[in-house]
Structure 1
Amino acid sequence: MWMGGSNYLAAAFVMIVFTLSVSMLLRYSHHQIFLFIVDLLQMLELNVAITFPAAPMLTVILALVGK
Structure 2
Amino acid sequence: MYTQYKLNHDDRQVDNTSNYGPARFRLDRIGTRTQEGDTWVYIVATEPAYTVANGWIKLDGLTATGTVTNQ
TM-score tier after normalising by the smaller chain length? under 0.3
Higher strand share: 2
Structure ranking higher on relative contact order (CA contacts 8 Å, 6+ apart): 1
Q: TM-score with structure 1 length normalisation? A: 0.23
